[in-house]
Structures are given as structure tokens and as C-alpha cells.
Amino acid sequence: MKLVVQRVTEGSVTVDGEITGAIGKGYVVLLGVGSEDSEETAKRLADKLVKLRIFSDADGKTNLSLKDMDGEVLVISQFTLYADCKKNRPSFCHAGDPALAERLYEVFMEQLRPQVKRVAHGVFGAEMQVRLCNDGPFTILLEA
């Protein structure tokens, strides 16, 4: 599983002209599921995300977690994180099967919900437009 975590002041996702999810301060997470991933992987990375300390404290040091900040999370499924670009046309042979990916996407969000203020999301498998204001900018790649 791969997560691109962007610390944001706000974020939203639109499908067919309608906003399906929006957050204020927190994380926009692009989530890719690999063929070898499991529910345990999804739960472990969700817990890691909540504990990740990348918000600034009163001294300007990155000491605060999402929970400390009462932050929100916008989760977007993103199979293209598994692109193999050795050739000019990307291959996605390492991405998880869509049924597996959708199940683990849901497990990931269910693990987050009791731990954070709000979990918003896109529509699995849909064409989406994602808007965000990256704070910092601060972007991290987490992998299982």
C-alpha cells in the first residue's frame, strides 16, 4: 500500500460536477493498493497516519499529530501510484485488483473514523477532480 500524504489547509474532491468530499485543515491522502496488500496493511497505515507528527507546535517544530490538531482527512483512491514507468507507457500490473483495492480503501477509512474528527472521500473508480491547498508545502510518501 502506498500513501501520498499532503498536509493541507483545505481540500475537496468533485465527481460529475458535484463535491463528494471536502475538508478543512488536515491531510489529503492519495491511497494506492498493491496486489500483495491486506486488511492488516490498511489498518497499520491508517494508525500510522493518525500518529504522524507533521503539524507545527507553538515553537514551529513538527511535533503535532492529526489527532492533536483535531484535523480532517480526505482519502482518494489512486491506483496510478503503482505505475511502472520503465517504458514510456505505464504498466499497472502491481496495482491491486479493483475488488481488493476497494475493500482495503474502505477498511482504511473505517480504521480512521473513530480516531479523527472527519473522514471525507472520493468515489472509488470514478473520474475525480481534486483541489487542495498544500500547507508548507508538506508532502510525505508512506509505504507498507
Supply the residues annotated as catalytic: 78-80
110: cell is 473505517
Contact 45, 142 (CB under 8 A): yes
To which residue does cell 475537496 refer?
Answer: 12
Q: How far is CA 63 from CA 6, 8, 85, 106, 132, in A?
A: 16, 16, 36, 29, 23
Cis-peptide, bond into residue 137, ω within 30° of zero: yes
